[in-house]
Structure 1
Amino acid sequence: MATNYYSISPSDTMKMPYRESNRRHSSSSMMAPLLLSRDFDEEVDGTIEITRAQTTAEDAYLPDVGLRPWLAALGGFCAQFCSFGYMNVIGVFQTYYETHQLIDLSPSTISWIGSLQSFILAFGGLFCGRICDMYGPRWLTVPGCFLLTLGVCMTALCTEYYQFVLAQGVCSALGASALFYATTSAITGWFSKRRGLAFGVAASGASFGGISLPFVFDAVSTRASFSLAVYCVAILLFVFSFTTVVVTNSRIAPSGRQPYRFAHFYLRPYLNPVFALVTLSLAVVYLGLFVPFAFVASHAVANGLSLASAFHLVAYLNAGSFAGRLFSGMVSDKIGKFTVYILVCFMSGLVAFPFWYLSSTQAGIIIVAAAYGFASGGVLAMYPALIAHISPIREIGTRVGAVSAAIAFGALAGLPIAGSIVGGDSGNTPDYSRMQIYAGVVMMSGSVIAVLAKAKATGGKIFARE
């Protein structure tokens, strides 16, 4: 098996004295986004010891250049197809379960499957990020491919509620989490000036999955059976996850095994108020972010659309997300990660309420689905890019994991809260209007917190390019 990182010795590539090499790299504009948080570069203790010579040697391979960075981006594209792409079609499964296998259960109860899936996908970063920093991405991509494929295949055999929870909500989510965090860490090391674009390209894989998987599921389930449809989904996810295993490597050599110090690795970053505010913003946004993904199809059915048309709405939503992820990634390299993140969070809330709230016709619901996909796609694309922007490069995997573990509780609570607001228990008619207000308000609140984070990062200059 090939090594899963790319390392350059001090004698390679740059035959110059250390001081000259260090001066060139420190003055380079490419390194500016990586140095917003400087505490790691200045820290040397018994746990993390990195010499300047090693750092200079690794920086000798200029980011953004050559085939290797874009292979890492391809790995990220495939990983997000398997992680958030699979998560993005939870609305298809939610609606199908409500009308087939789990018809006797309330929407709120069924939503715990998707809620647990999103929670584990996010919370897994607490462990996956640190593993990737210590050992490299392949320690995650290989088991991630196996667990994801196993979980989806087992979903095809499920008949009871607890079986869906274990297979779809736990097993496949663990695999998806490993794939996502491995590629996020790898991409960060390979890109600097074009990092926003790289994350946008990677994040578009989730939209591609969200577009293709509903059509595959609908076409096979209507002509054959639920089990065969899920097996077809499993085949697609295996192909993309295996591609992730093959193409993903890291520019930064793994640091190796280190003592596990929870407070040092996971709590120390929160002493930085910017980091703490960004995490709080994401946690609030995640309370409502996946609500339209889960309920746009069932809301459409309640407004008279056919089940097939409702499934297609999930694809329209993800088509908009594809454009939003790419666009936000490209624009963020020009006007700043904070700026784009704030805008897309506010736009997501605005689409949920009042526009989704006021939509009841088929045309209106389709427009809302595409618009929300565009805005929420920007949020999901900017989330890892923004954390990388405010973190030291050698701690990015760990810090993305720390943030993800915090926001996972928002993801866990969001769908059950929305399901409870919708109602529909004991034969009552579901009411989606209050749920739409809830989703819009929490996401706009998250954008306000992000404004405070930017103000803290820029010394009060909220219109600065940052």
Structure 2
Amino acid sequence: METHIPSNSDGTINHISRVRPTHPRRWLILFVVWGSFLLSYIDRVAWSSVAAPVGQSLGIAVGMLGAFVTAFYIGYVIANIVGGLVTDSLGGRKTLTFALIPLGIATFFFGNTQSLSTGVWIQLAMGLFAGADYSAGVKILTAWFGKDRGRAMGIYTTGTSLGVVIANAIVPSISASYGWEAAFRLLGIITFCWAIVTFVTIRETPSLAVQDRIRKSDFLAVLKNRNLIWLAIAGCGALWGTVGFGAWGNALMTKQYGISPVTAGSIIACFGVGAVIAKPTLGWLSDFRKGKRKEFAIGCLVCFAFLLFVFGHASTVTQFYVVAPLLGAAAFGYTPLLVAQVTEVVEEKFVGAAAGLTNAVWQMGSAAAPLFVGRVYGQTRSFELALVVLACGPLIGAVTLAFVASRKS
């Protein structure tokens, strides 16, 4: 059984020990949910890894290379709002499966894109289909993990950073050998097949008990949670920097310094390696100091902003290789800390809605950053200024997190 966790009027949760028996199947559940998130993110960032050369072949202007990324995130933001509510109503298993199947189909057909307008519409559809994966995954893992939830969220969120590594390691190479169209068709097939694995493998809860469904009054209460609002704003600023760099890192190095797409992809892969190490490490450490998740996240965001500034003043391949893993650790390390805090400031039956709503706000930063940074670079051709613009996001996030109330004993 799990004890009821009363919440305070300010949105904090009184810290009562959760009695949740461990279940060996939870690691299989974590692996399948993580795999779903990983594939969804690879589909999301695959374009960024080949944007410069493929964009040129399609006749897309430099300033519009981020249009596909922005289109995806517009759909993703919309779907997150709806997806969180759907997750709390239908359950995480069905929501996750029904998100992956059409995502795989849309990713496959993106390989047929021949124009900017067609690509934008398909990426918008991909975002709409993928939008429910995050809240569904958080909902499922919250039900299966208790005292070690920080570690579980740390492993789960490595899907985004490892997705950057895999996308930048294989998509440019496949594109060079077989064409970029083949790369997207392959990703679509793999995503579709994993949806079947997800449906067959996942259970909602260890006990098979029916989870409470969210009501309209519950949803309104979630919207009024002040801690959730601060966390939403902080994550928006943080992802402004993370996704903006992920979308433009390759193209900026290629355009500014003439670095080959394969080498730039290798540098961004190092960026992802740092993130893969940082996420589970910080999540695991935060399980021992649950009351300090906020402070860990603030420190991570400040380091992120500083390292963006440092990367912006690098100019050689060696310098980029040195800074990239450190930047990746800071650029993604805060995510399990924010996700864990979201699950702690609401009751468990509201986790899907809370995760979906906060992620919708977070992804507004993701949607805006690629186009804004593209416009800045297109007008100024300044690598340094583009990185400074990105650094503003995590700085705002760090300041906002200071207003989140600490968990009460």
Task: Please say whether Structure 1 and Structure 2 have the same fold, judged by a TM-score greater than 0.5.
Answer: yes
- Going from structure 1 to structure 2, the CA distance change for 1:83 and 1:347 (only over 3 Å counts) comes to farther
**How far apart are 1:421 and its partner, in Å?**
1.0
Return the alpha-carbon distance in structure 2 between the equivalents of residues 237 and 243 of structure 1. Answer: 10
User: 2:222 matched to which residue of 1?
Assistant: 269
- In the alignment, does 2:30 pair up with 1:73? yes
User: 2:212 matched to which residue of 1?
Assistant: 255
> Structure 1 counterpart of 2:242, which letter?
L
**How far apart are 1:159 and its partner, in Å?**
0.3
Aligned residues: 399
- Counterpart contact for 2:96–2:136, Cα < 8 Å: yes
Equivalent of 2:388, from 423, 432, 437? Answer: 437
User: 2:71 matched to which residue of 1?
Assistant: 116
Return the alpha-carbon distance in structure 2 between the equivalents of residues 282 and 363 of structure 1. Answer: 31
User: 1:8 matched to which residue of 2?
Assistant: none
Return the alpha-carbon distance in structure 2 between the equivalents of residues 64 and 76 of structure 1. Answer: 20
> Structure 2 counterpart of 1:163, which letter?
T
User: 1:352 matched to which residue of 2?
Assistant: 308
User: 2:40 matched to which residue of 1?
Assistant: 83
- In the alignment, does 2:291 pair up with 1:340? no
Q: Work out which structure has the larger RCO, using CA pairs closer than 8 Å and 6 or more positions apart in sequence.
A: 2
Equivalent of 2:172, from 208, 215, 218? Answer: 218
Further displaced range: 401-410 or 303-312? 401-410
- In the alignment, does 2:243 pair up with 1:287? no
Question: After superposition, where does 1:419-434 map in structure 2 within 5 Å?
Answer: 419-423=374-378, 430-434=381-385
Could you list the per-position Cα deviations for residues 311-364 of structure 1 after superposition, in whole angstroms to 9, with x for gaps in the alignment?
Answer: 2223222212111211121111122322222222222111112x1121111011
Return the alpha-carbon distance in structure 2 between the equivalents of residues 77 and 147 of structure 1. Answer: 18
**How far apart are 1:373 and its partner, in Å?**
1.5
Equivalent of 2:99, from 144, 164, 172? Answer: 144
User: 1:325 matched to which residue of 2?
Assistant: 279
**How far apart are 1:197 and its partner, in Å?**
0.5
> Structure 1 counterpart of 2:275, which letter?
S
Secondary structure of 2:66's aligned partner: helix
> Structure 2 counterpart of 1:282, which letter?
G
Equivalent of 2:318, from 359, 363, 368? Answer: 363
User: 2:406 matched to which residue of 1?
Assistant: 457
User: 1:196 matched to which residue of 2?
Assistant: 150
Could you list the per-position Cα deviations for residues 403-425 of structure 1 after superposition, in whole angstroms to 9, with x for gaps in the alignment?
Answer: 1223332222222111111115x
- Going from structure 1 to structure 2, the CA distance change for 1:249 and 1:96 (only over 3 Å counts) comes to farther
- Going from structure 1 to structure 2, the CA distance change for 1:327 and 1:64 (only over 3 Å counts) comes to farther
RMSD between aligned residues: 2.7
User: Which structure has the greater CA radius of gyration?
Assistant: 1
- In the alignment, does 2:341 pair up with 1:390? no
**How far apart are 1:121 and its partner, in Å?**
2.6
- Going from structure 1 to structure 2, the CA distance change for 1:332 and 1:87 (only over 3 Å counts) comes to farther
Secondary structure of 1:293's aligned partner: helix
Return the alpha-carbon distance in structure 1 between the equivalents of residues 45 and 289 of structure 2. Answer: 28
> Structure 1 counterpart of 2:133, which letter?
L
> Structure 1 counterpart of 2:381, which letter?
P
Secondary structure of 2:140's aligned partner: helix
Return the alpha-carbon distance in structure 2 between the equivalents of residues 36 and 321 of structure 1. Answer: 33
Secondary structure of 1:235's aligned partner: helix
Could you list the per-position Cα deviations for residues 60-109 of structure 1 after superposition, in whole angstroms to 9, with x for gaps in the alignment?
Answer: xx5361223222211221122023343344421432333322x34232x2
- In the alignment, does 2:62 pair up with 1:106? yes
Could you list the per-position Cα deviations for residues 290-312 of structure 1 after superposition, in whole angstroms to 9, with x for gaps in the alignment?
Answer: 11111111122121311211122
- Counterpart contact for 2:157–2:336, Cα < 8 Å: yes
Return the alpha-carbon distance in structure 2 between the equivalents of residues 123 and 385 of structure 1. Answer: 23
Could you list the per-position Cα deviations for residues 255-309 of structure 1 after superposition, in whole angstroms to 9, with x for gaps in the alignment?
Answer: 35x76x3xx4444334333222222212222332211111111122121311211
User: 1:56 matched to which residue of 2?
Assistant: none
Secondary structure of 2:381's aligned partner: coil
User: 1:7 matched to which residue of 2?
Assistant: none
Ranges in structure 1 where 5+ consecutive residues have no aligned partner: 1-20, 43-58, 460-465
User: 1:463 matched to which residue of 2?
Assistant: none
Return the alpha-carbon distance in structure 2 between the equivalents of residues 298 and 64 of structure 1. Answer: 48
TM-score if structure 2 supplies the norm length?
A: 0.89
Return the alpha-carbon distance in structure 2 between the equivalents of residues 385 and 276 of structure 1. Answer: 15
User: 1:135 matched to which residue of 2?
Assistant: 90
- Counterpart contact for 1:283–1:409, Cα < 8 Å: yes
> Structure 2 counterpart of 1:356, which letter?
F
User: 1:300 matched to which residue of 2?
Assistant: 253
Return the alpha-carbon distance in structure 2 between the equivalents of residues 343 and 283 of structure 1. Answer: 17
> Structure 2 counterpart of 1:452, which letter?
F
Return the alpha-carbon distance in structure 1 between the equivalents of residues 356 and 305 of structure 2. Answer: 25
Secondary structure of 1:423's aligned partner: helix
- Going from structure 1 to structure 2, the CA distance change for 1:67 and 1:235 (only over 3 Å counts) comes to same
Return the alpha-carbon distance in structure 1 between the equivalents of residues 225 and 282 of structure 2. Answer: 26
User: 2:263 matched to which residue of 1?
Assistant: 309
Could you list the per-position Cα deviations for residues 15-46 of structure 1 after superposition, in whole angstroms to 9, with x for gaps in the alignment?
Answer: xxxxxx8xxx65xxxx8xx5555899x9xxxx
TM-score if structure 1 supplies the norm length?
A: 0.78
Secondary structure of 1:65's aligned partner: coil
User: 1:96 matched to which residue of 2?
Assistant: 53
- Going from structure 1 to structure 2, the CA distance change for 1:71 and 1:122 (only over 3 Å counts) comes to farther
**How far apart are 1:233 and its partner, in Å?**
2.4
